[in-house]
Amino acid sequence: MTGSDQQSPLAGVAWMVASGLAFVGVNGVVKHLGTDLPAAQSAFIRFAFGVAFFLPVLPAILRAGFPAPVWRLFAWRGALHVAAVALWFHAMARVPVAEMSAIAFLNPVIVLVIGALLLGEGFGPRRLIVVLAALVGALMVLRPGFREVSEGHLSQIVATLCFAASYIFAKRLSAVAPASVVVAVMSVSVTLGLLPLAIWVWQPVTPVQLGWLGVVAALATAGHYMMTRAFRAAPLAVTQPVSFLQIVWSTALGALVFHEAVDPWVIAGGAVIIGAVSLNTWAAARRGRRPAPPAVET
């Protein structure tokens, strides 16, 4: 990280834009693959590709000698992430791309609630306003009672809950292990956790499908790297609102590539959710605290 990166909001915005495009690319490829492969199998292959990036650091992790409580935290995070990723892959093949993105933006709000209820961070008026606004946004996206809320929607909601809980464990682990170790152990544990599920539903895989899942792994890795660069280059109060563009790009992708109808309620609901998250980010920055970043961990 250079000095210019530290003091360059423009660079932070640029990195965040690039990160958002990478994650929308992930959504598009998984949507393209559809239901030809079971969700657990697709997720396993994606993470197996990802583990290859961390093979050089695995011997050092095994020699680190973490105490048993730390390994339990790693195990709990891995289990949550296995559920989250499998449910996300299941939902992505069944839910419009824009709706997937909008629901996923509830992640920081769920982290906010978990932090208040389980970590003793308090639940003042500001947090209550943020949570209520985000819930209104979610209702605008889903509109229960006015249209069918499918199993795909429910899968994405539960996946978002699991991703948020996984982030809480990652936050705890970051105090006792380097970030690279936390990410590497997560990748390995998720791959191992998905393996029996993938074997159970395994179907023949074509070279083309393997290639596309390799692209998913590369885009996801690049997206996380660029998001990290964005966080280093500029405050979250600057980069957080930029993430709303993902809904715009997801809507365009769904309409132009997958012929999905453009739903103004989804865009409006996503805008309300992002507005609530951005309000919390801005308020936390003014108080000198570090809010939860948007977690997109596919």
* Burial status of residue 218 (CB atoms within 10 A of its CB: 0-12, 13-18, 19 or more): middle
Spatial distance between the Cα atoms of 277 and 133, rounded to a whole number of angstroms: 9
- CB contact at 8 A, 20 and 244: no
Spatial distance between the Cα atoms of 278 and 197, rounded to a whole number of angstroms: 37
Helix orientation angle between 264-286 and 107-118, rounded to the nearest 10 degrees: 50
Instruction: Report pLDDT digits (tens) over 222-273.
Output: 887 887 788 777 776 677 677 778 888 888 888 888 888 888 888 888 888 8
Spatial distance between the Cα atoms of 290 and 210, rounded to a whole number of angstroms: 39
Q: What is the pLDDT of residue 121?
A: 59
Q: What is the pLDDT of residue 191?
A: 93
Q: What pTM was computed for the model?
A: 0.81
**Low-confidence residues in the chain, pLDDT < 70:** 1-7, 118-123, 145, 236-237, 240, 283-298
Q: What is the pLDDT of residue 3?
A: 44
